[in-house]
Amino acid sequence: MREFTRGIFQTLKGLIVESSVARAVVYTIGHVIIAMICNTIITGAAWELAMVDAVIEPCINGVWYYFLDKFWTSQRK
């Protein structure tokens, strides 16, 4: 069993180190956790509200960035 679990952890480690998608997922999870903590400390919001804000806010920023990038590239042509 030890070899099996060692193999799983080595595989996961390889995916995180070699895959930009995996790094993006890890970064996003960290971003959400940091945003929850900051929101709770700064505003005194309940954890549930801080979590909702920490998830929704990056989604809105992603949509905003998409349209900004579309506009930006259309102006460069």
- Is residue 46 very low, low, confident or very high in pLDDT (cuts 50, 70, 90)? very high
| pTM strictly above 0.85 | no
The pLDDT of residue 32 is above 80: yes
Check residue 41 and report its DSSP letter: H
Q: Please write the tens of the pLDDT for every residue from 55-72.
A: 998 889 888 988 998 898
- Is residue 27 very low, low, confident or very high in pLDDT (cuts 50, 70, 90)? confident
**What is the per-residue burial (b if ≥16 Cβ within 10 Å, else e) of 4-39?**
eeeeeeeeeeeeeeeeeeeeeeeeeeeebeebbeeb
Closest Cα partner for 26 from 16, 38, 37?
A: 16
Placement of tokens 């505003």 in the chain: 43
Placement of tokens 């579309």 in the chain: 70
Q: Please write the tens of the pLDDT for every residue from 1-22.
A: 566 667 777 776 766 666 677 7
